[in-house]
Amino acid sequence: LLQPDITAPGVNILASWSPSVALSSAMGSVNFKIDSGTSMSCPHISGVAALLKSMHPNWSPAAVKSAMVTTANVRDEYGFEMVSEAAPYKQANPFDYGGGHVDPNRAAHPGLVYDMRPSDYVRFLCSMGYNNSAIASMVQQHTPCQHSPKSQLNLNVPSITIPELRGKLSVSRTVTNVGPVTSKYRARVEAPPGVNVTVNPSLLTFNSTVNRLTFKVAFQAKLKVQGRYTFGSLTWEDGTHTVRIPLVVRTMINRFYVNA
């Protein structure tokens, strides 16, 4: 699973600070402090999630998360690709920002969401090899694993990460329409370098009786190489909404020793 999911403002954030915590003996106690880091991004994301939940009280946590991830920006305010200012300074990628930089206004009306139910998480845990008692202790009820999938790649998260692509591989996802009842979305793919990507079906049609549709994304390595991670995206568009998820793929011939 791709981590992080998303990024938010976290550099030089002016925030409240407990007066009981002295920064130093010279400064004494203060009411406010400028700080940076993921701890400063977290309250921004939490606030956006709270706003979305108040606007859409029936949305699940997965739907709220999807709305933020699929509408996030991957370019800065000037239209340039984002950069990572860590060492070394480089062009940023999904390992730095996940789906992108959060955009609260767009997240309020995402068009489509990648939703999940508790049973989806249970099947995921079963596929990871957790036994029934371990899962029961987490979900607080008896939940036996039945017909658990062998792969974790089909968990309905708003991203697709394939750490070991050998030849061909197909992954499925399901989207739920939360926009206009009658909608048509067409797929647009930016394939990771060295990989062919096809989406089937490439056109999703929603109406009053169909608000959830499943599609498959097929990946095929162009060359038999032991490669590094490469990045692309899959976007569903209806002329109004842009629903984008990152694609992260690493082509392989043999297993890396660190993964053995």
pLDDT tens profile 154-166: 999 999 999 999 8
Rounded Cα distance between 210 and 145, Å, is 30
Q: Check residue 27 and give its pLDDT.
A: 62
Quick check: 90 pLDDT over 70?
A: yes
Is 3 part of a structural domain of the chain? no
Query: Which stretch, 73-87, 162-176, 217-231, has highest mean pLDDT?
Result: 162-176
- Are residues 167 and 79 located together in one domain of the fold? yes
**Alpha-carbon radius of gyration of the chain:** 21
Range of the domain at 125: 117-151
- Are residues 133 and 146 located together in one domain of the fold? yes
pLDDT in tens, 203-222: 999 999 999 999 999 999 98
Instruction: Provide CB contacts within 8 A for 256, sequence distance 6+.
Output: none
- Are residues 45 and 92 located together in one domain of the fold? yes
Q: Check residue 197 and give its pLDDT.
A: 97
Rounded Cα distance between 200 and 216, Å, is 5
Share of the chain above pLDDT 90, in %: 61
Least confident of 139-148, 215-224, 235-244: 139-148
Q: Check residue 205 and give its pLDDT.
A: 97
Quick check: 192 pLDDT over 90?
A: yes
Give mean pLDDT, residues 33-45.
89
Quick check: 25 pLDDT over 60?
A: no
Give mean pLDDT, residues 3-23.
86
- Are residues 172 and 234 located together in one domain of the fold? yes
- Are residues 121 and 246 located together in one domain of the fold? no
Quick check: 24 pLDDT over 70?
A: no
Is 233 part of a structural domain of the chain? yes
Rounded Cα distance between 3 and 29, Å, is 36
Quick check: 26 pLDDT over 70?
A: no
Quick check: 135 pLDDT over 60?
A: yes
User: CATH number, domain at 56?
Assistant: 2.60.40.2310
Domain edge (last residue) among 104, 136, 151: 151
- Are residues 239 and 122 located together in one domain of the fold? no
Rounded Cα distance between 206 and 176, Å, is 9
Quick check: 256 pLDDT over 60?
A: no
CA angle, corner 124, sides to 121 and 130, nearest 5? Answer: 105
Rounded Cα distance between 110 and 183, Å, is 13
What is the number of other CB atoms lying within 10 angstroms of the CB of residue 215? 19
Domains: count for the chain? 2
Is 5 part of a structural domain of the chain? no
Quick check: 260 pLDDT over 60?
A: no
Is 127 part of a structural domain of the chain? yes
Please answer whether residues 245 and 160 qualify as being in contact, where contact means their C-beta atoms are separated by less than 8 angstroms. yes
